[in-house]
Structure 1
């Protein structure tokens, strides 16, 4: 009989998150997979076309059964975002009260908000089954940075919720080694925490260099950023960097190709326009994830950026694996583990977070490298990816955990 994994993920297909691929792989490996998720609205903040409170609440995707519980869309302000988080929990509470689903395991894919884990731990406790939590964002630290909330009573209450969730998990997986240490400091036993890095979907692979209509092929050094354009990404550094590069009047044109959507996009466009930097920026609408490698193949380097904060120094953004899997030379503005990986792999150049002067220097340095040197950086990136983020090895490790943990008695 197939083992049944119940996945709790506030964001799921057609929203573009790695859990989509993880669930697809589990189905291929013989598991039954049911996903409890919300009505898709990320990142634009409104329901996707064709979805709503009374439309497509149940769906099948790649053999995965999807159940969408009601939630308020994210909107474009902090009040709507808070209501979005809260509504998923309230809907999840009533769902777990009345559901007839009988799963063998719960797997919670936790990108912010951590609140989404509550329906999962409640269901696991009720059914007396193992509960696995995959931590992508640390709370309450993430709340303080993203929202600016510093009230000790609010942060304290969130901290208690986080401790409640951790205490009810059978196993906690993290996307970085630093997260392991941080969670241990919340009095969580080290033996139940494990670093399980993200991998990139199979369509992320090196493609032959080829121009596309969306990215001008005019001899410029094309840099691509692909993904959510939000506050955490720290992209406000790019217009500042572009001004510095422009002032240096180097021989080669540099262009930033920003592919994606998000709450910060309009602000970023305003910054570019107000500084007369239109010639150095190319904004491209959000693309299906499987199209991104083609955009990368039309560029010379890939860029990632993290806000200057101790929390983000502990973070390994998912796009790092995507870039490396595609064999892209990497330019980064980041600290901590991301910096360490780029340095270890010799896959590109990294500057400290928030340091626009240093970032402008490494961008110019990379733009002046020979084609042969850039190719070698890309090879280094792919080799490091294959050694450290191999999809089959990671999924095999998770299979062992599923086999080791049986129904919890009592």
Structure 2
């Protein structure tokens, strides 16, 4: 988004942390005394101190709190001039307090892009629902929405959830603005990719973060049910659940059904997808995920991929509306194995074309960035 704004003539300053996601360790070449201020593709980047998230939940909490405290202090002390502050909110929502701190100091509008709904995300991911923990988070969220001039949300369900909170939010300032896929996500000619053998198996791609929220434990169980079918799951990525995932594959003795490829530059994803017959996404079984439109869906559709999803709610609605694939219930391996068998004899070319067409109508980057620009100027 920042690069696009620079192309459109805006001066953009990003305030962010020292990079450590998703593996939880500070990236090489960065640190408290290294690369704290840089210019990248015309964007000024200021990296404020934080504690790397590590691999424990304590580490994650310290990571969240350290960025929030650093950000609020930076908001009060750093000399930055801007006409808007735009908070890009993936979890944790605590980071938005830094955005509000900057906006208040400069007396400018604060815009917020909600990609993770709080406190719902905390309850779903941590399993903590104790009022002692959730009430203060709820209060913080009320404060954030009250101190935001325009709120953008990634799905219609998110818009409803924000407007219908106990402390209601004015519907006029909450807008559905879905994620787009970057322009390098394009359908590309099927070509040989060294990491993927050229055989006749029905290949199903998954690309991205292998975490617990993705509900990927369904795949080893599904692979076991498909042991007599010529199916390969091509997994491109890594994440905190990867080790556990590999153990589950070994436990079920379905190693021959999986091709594990380490994390790749995003720009290579279209070529990996081009060698596969369909693309897969799934979720854990939780109400929050049915309200979510994952960015992975947009990138798959941009590449003109037929979709197989173990998902309900918003994802299922889009796949059905677009007529670009098939869905099974969350966590139901038997249903998913039946869906995969049906996909093996489906008209994949037509599904792929429908996928790209729907993407162009609803998730095109230039169209959505034009919409955002109208909000800046209205």
* TM-score (norm. length: structure 2): 0.98
Q: After TM superposition, give the deviation of residue 66 of structure 1 in Å.
A: 0.5
**1:96-111 equivalent positions in 2, closer than 5 A:** 96-111=75-90
Could you say which residue in structure 1 is the equivalent of 2:190?
Answer: 209
**Is residue 393 of structure 1 aligned with residue 372 of structure 2?**
no
Secondary structure in structure 1 of the residue aligned to 2:337: helix
Q: Which residue of 1 aligns with 2:214?
A: 233
Write out per-residue CA displacement over residues 307-335 of structure 1, whole angstroms, 9 at most, x where no aligned residue.
11111110000010000000001100111
In 2, Cα distance between equivalents of 1:283 and 1:144:
31
Q: Tell me how far apart the structure 1 counterparts of residues 247 and 38 of structure 2 sit (CA, whole Å).
A: 39
Residue 276 (structure 2) pairs with residue 302 (structure 1): no
Contact map agreement 2:282 2:311 (CA 8 A) in 1 = yes
Name the structure 1 match of 2:36. Answer: 57
**Alignment partner of 2:226: what SS?**
helix
Which whole-Å CA distance do the structure 2 matches of 1:60 and 1:217 have between them? 42
Alignment pair present for 1:33 and 2:12: yes
Which residue matches 1:42? Answer: 21
Task: Choose which of 204, 224, 229 in structure 2 pairs with 1:223.
Answer: 204
Show CA shifts across 1:195-252 (max 9, x none). Answer: 0011110100000012211111111111110011111111011111111111xx23xx
- The offset of 1:98, in angstroms, is 1.2
Superposition pairs for residues 144-293 of structure 1, below 5 Å? Answer: 144-186=123-165, 187-246=168-227, 249-250=228-229, 253-293=230-270
Q: State the 1:47 CA deviation.
A: 1.0
* Greater mean deviation of Cα atoms: 55-64 or 317-326: 55-64
Q: Which runs of 4+ in 1 moved over 6 A?
A: none
CA positional deviation for 1:392: 1.5
- The corresponding residue for 1:24 is 3
Alignment pair present for 1:116 and 2:112: no
Q: What's the CA shift for 1:368? A: 3.0
Q: Among 353, 373, 376, which residue is 2:350 paired with?
A: 376
CA distance in 1, matches of 2:212, 2:300: 21
Query: What stretches of structure 2 of length at least 5 have no aligned partner?
Result: none
Q: Is 1:135–2:114 an aligned residue pair?
A: yes
Q: Is the 8 A contact 1:120 1:131 kept in 2?
A: yes
Partner of 2:68: 89
Q: In structure 1, the residue corresponding to 2:94 is in which secondary structure?
A: helix
The alignment partner of 2:213 has SS state of helix
CA RMSD, Structure 1 to Structure 2 (Å): 0.9
Deviations 1:354-406 (A, max 9, x none): 1111111111111233xxx21111000000001111211111111111112xx
1:98-128 per-position Cα deviation (integer Å, ceiling 9, x unaligned): 1110111000110111011001011112211
TM-score by length of 1: 0.90
How far off is 1:70 after superposition?
Answer: 0.6
> Is the contact between residue 211 and residue 297 of structure 1 (CA under 8 Å) also seen in structure 2?
no
What are the superposed Cα offsets for residues 55-106 of structure 1, whole Å, 9 maximum, x if unpaired? 1111122111111001111111100000000010111122112111011100
Contiguous gaps of at least 5 residues in structure 1:
1-21, 405-410
Mapping 1:329-408, distance limit 5 Å: 329-369=306-346, 373-404=347-378
Cα distance, 1:185 vs. partner? 1.2
